[in-house]
Amino acid sequence: MSAALHTSNLTSLPLLARGKVRDNYAVGTDRILMVASDRLSAFDVIMGQPIPGKGEILTQMALFWFARLGHLCPNHLTGDAPESVVTPAEVPQVQGRSMLVKRLKPIPVEAVVRGYLAGSGWKEYQETRAVCGVPLPEGLRNASKLPAPIFTPAAKAAVGEHDENISFEQVVAVVGGELAAKIRDTSIAIYRAAADFALTKGLIIADTKFEFGLDEQGTLVLMDEVLTPDSSRYWPVEGYEAAFAAGANPPSYDKQFVRDWLEQVRIDGKPWDKTPPAPHLPKDVITKTAAKYREALERLTG
């Protein structure tokens, strides 16, 4: 792994945007260089300390899944080397953590698929016995496996804001019925294929979110990242049953370690209010979080 990179600084290309994790640069008018930094956001606040290796792990996992799922939906990769569009001095910031991708018209909907009830889905189910307008059977518990995967979209929020769960009908209102159905059906097909494969590696994908765009021909294209621990809830099979029986969240391969620490940290005797600046992460929390991300990649890809 290369040195940790909190924020990239490429001067040879125009910066388009900095997200929670990725820094996007324009390459001409038709391509984007996406650099996955080692930043980590929790509760929609970016931490001041990077998680070493995280950007490389996210990129390697995304490339693994793009290659494996290409038969289900085209993706945004150009096949060109990211290093080819920056200066030699900038290569260390790019190598192993970047994707050179097609510029698309992004669809302003997070395509979320859930195979298990967790997080905001579990919260919503307790109140309404449904998630995003999808009715579910009585008697489900936290971390229950659903009878079949469900499409539970969210409206994309601005950086620092929370994505908001919406109904399928609201997606139809934004993009039209035909495209909404294609996004839903493609998302569920990708989730099923990925979840089936992950199980052979001892991993449960509880839920995930996809992002799509349209190319110049109007073709639906899978973009951004795919099936990384930042966009998906991965649980090890061996920890699931005991946690489920206890009504607890199963252990996960993501930033849960950081979230748990932030929930119990005290600043001047008070809990952190989840607004910037974030508390300073201790070294052991950084090390254990980095190890979780690394273990997910190693289990998945061998």
pLDDT score of 44: 85
Tens-place pLDDT, residues 221-236: 999 999 999 999 999 9
**pLDDT class of 162 with cuts at 50, 70, 90:** low
Dihedral pair phi/psi, residue 155, rounded to 5°: -85, 130
**Would the pLDDT of 25 be above 60?**
yes
Alpha helix (H) ranges present in the chain? 54-69, 91-94, 119-128, 168-175, 177-200, 237-246, 256-264, 283-301
Dihedral pair phi/psi, residue 214, rounded to 5°: -115, 135
Mean pLDDT along residues 180-191: 98
pLDDT score of 255: 83
Computed over every residue of the chain, the mean pLDDT equals 95
Neighbouring C-beta atoms of residue 248, cutoff 10 Å: 12
pLDDT score of 164: 85
Overall fold of domain 106-246: D-amino Acid Aminotransferase; Chain A, domain 1 (3.30.470)
Bridge partners, residue 233, by sequence: 207
pLDDT score of 161: 64
Q: Where are the beta strands (DSSP E) in the chain?
A: 15-18, 22-27, 31-36, 41-42, 45-46, 98-102, 105-106, 109-116, 130-131, 134-135, 145-151, 154-155, 164-165, 203-214, 220-223, 232-236, 266-267, 270-271
pLDDT score of 156: 79
Give residue limits of the domains in the chain: 15-103, 106-246
Tell me if 201 sits within 8 A of 160, measured CB to CB. no
What pairing do the DSSP bridges indicate for beta strands 220-223 and 203-214?
antiparallel
**Would the pLDDT of 160 be above 60?**
no
Helix, strand and coil content of the chain, in percent to the nearest 5, comes to 35, 25, 40
**pLDDT class of 289 with cuts at 50, 70, 90:** very high
**Would the pLDDT of 1 be above 60?**
no
Mean pLDDT along residues 270-288: 94
**CATH match for 15-103 among 3.30.43.10, 3.40.50.720, 3.30.365.10, 3.30.200.20:** 3.30.200.20
Tell me if 250 sits within 8 A of 235, measured CB to CB. yes
**What gap in Å lies between CA 79 and CA 62, rounded to an integer?**
14
pLDDT score of 297: 97
Q: What percent of the chain is predicted at pLDDT more than 90?
A: 91
Determine the length of the chain.
302
pTM: 0.94
